Structure 1
Amino acid sequence: MKYLVVSDIHGSKPAAEKIVELMSNNQFDACLCLGDILYHGPRNPLPVGHEPKVVAELMNEKNKKIIAVRGNCDSEVDQMVLKFPIMSNENQLMLGNRRLFMTHGHLNMIDDLSFLNQGDLFLFGHTHIPMANYDNQLYLLNPGSMSLPKENYPRSYGVLDEEGFKVFSFDGDIIKKITF
């Protein structure tokens, strides 16, 4: 399995266009979307190309290949225009023999992951900071933000497969990586 991993789109049309481009040009089995899809939230500035209605249309083109969780900026109104489920706070998949736990990160904080087994993957967004770490016998993975990156990182996305996780800038440069 090979997954495109995205988070924190915040209504940015260029971010949604990048997702559609990547899903069309690569051999991804699915897109794992870690929330904050349409709305930028009261603490964030408007992202470049803020067009949530267009973002919904673009994301809906790939709706059958998107597995998403709810971010702190996502709501029932957003679900009304998106053609894939976004209201679950968490989701779990298997990636080979590892459990992949995905969440936005605002509820399931990284401080207590005792429900995971050694070598499992904790996939989250929310911080807008890319991460590819192995800590406490767990893989902590964050693709960064597609629209409003922090700490001088570029806009980014992740690629996850059974070999490891890589975070790429929109220009295609590898920002972070880890091998399993």
Structure 2
Amino acid sequence: MKMAFISDIHGNAVALEAVLADIEKHHVDSIAVLGDLCYRGPQPKRALDRIRSLECPVIKGNADEWVVRGVREGEVPEAKLAMMNDERQWTVEQLESEDLEYLEQLPTQFHWDLNSHLKLHTFHATPESLFDVVLPHESPEHLQTKLMVEEDADLYLYAHIHLPYVRYVGGKCLANLGSVGLPFDGQSKASYVIVDADEERFRVSIERVPYDVEKVAQQYVDNGYPYAGMMRRVVQEAQPPS
């Protein structure tokens, strides 16, 4: 079985279409989405509609939760709270009530049997939280405690941090998808993961896909996105907002 996993689209429909075109070239059996569909991008409605048209498994991310109920104190630095709720309000205004209902009911994790030998556990940030941040350089013990809690799984995939990587810990594989719409590793290319499983063997690959970054940067301005200048820099530099 060959599966493509995408996440953190963040309303970047241009990057999403580039990734879906790339996935088609790989002839995968199925696609799954690990959250953060439309918040903080210039085309939230188009991105969400495109994801829904795939009719594939989708789980909830922290940004999807924020779209539904707002950003709360303690979830982001106090100095950024009002700004991020302004962005959230703009996003909600682009969506319909049925879109919000869809985001609200999304599950938070999936378990997959890749075949009779290999099991996969997927979630957005950690199995217990949509918000916890677990970075690539953490100790093996920390990764096992926070991310690799399902002992019968062979492979663990998550999203949230926008930093793609693959590590082998305790004889098992852990990978982060990076981000389709807002990569934070300095490479302004969309990121996603392909898992190719055959009997007891599997291969995990991080795919990087170029897209029209300047077009997306201009969309923030043309579509009236709040804090458009900040988000233009984020997509152009592939770095987190400062």
* Shorter-chain TM band: 0.7 to 0.9
1:156 equivalent to 2:188? Answer no
Cα separation, 1, equivalents of 2:5 and 2:50: 16
Q: What residue identity is the alignment partner of 1:67? A: P
Deviations, residues 121-153 of structure 1 (Å, cap 9, x unaligned): 111000100011111222111121111111324
Give structure 1 stretches of 5+ with no counterpart.
41-46, 172-180
Which has the higher Rg, Structure 1 or Structure 2? Answer: 2
- Give yes or no for contact 1:69–1:86 (8 Å, CA) kept in 2: no
Cα separation, 1, equivalents of 2:176 and 2:10: 16
Count of paired positions:
161
Cα separation, 1, equivalents of 2:17 and 2:182: 15
- Give yes or no for contact 1:91–1:103 (8 Å, CA) kept in 2: yes
1:62 maps to what in 2? Answer: 54
Deviation, 1:84, is 9.3
1:101 equivalent to 2:121? Answer yes
Question: SS at 1:74's partner residue?
Answer: helix
| TM-score, normalised via structure 1 length | 0.77
Question: SS at 2:173's partner residue?
Answer: strand
Pair 1:139–1:81, CA change in 2 (3 A): same
- Give yes or no for contact 1:8–1:128 (8 Å, CA) kept in 2: yes
Cα separation, 2, equivalents of 1:3 and 1:155: 17
Deviation, 1:24, is 4.0
| TM-score, normalised via structure 2 length | 0.58
Q: What residue identity is the alignment partner of 1:128? A: H
Deviation, 1:157, is 1.1
Pair 1:139–1:94, CA change in 2 (3 A): same
- Give yes or no for contact 2:16–2:181 (8 Å, CA) kept in 1: no
- RMSD between aligned residues: 2.8
Cα separation, 2, equivalents of 1:140 and 1:4: 15
1:174 maps to what in 2? Answer: none
* Higher share of residues assigned strand: 1
Cα separation, 1, equivalents of 2:49 and 2:149: 38
Deviation, 1:73, is 0.8
Cα separation, 2, equivalents of 1:61 and 1:32: 12
Query: For 1:110-129, what aligned pairs fall within 5 Å after superposition?
Result: 110=143, 111-112=145-146, 113-117=148-152, 120-129=154-163
* Higher share of residues assigned helix: 2
- Give yes or no for contact 2:60–2:103 (8 Å, CA) kept in 1: no
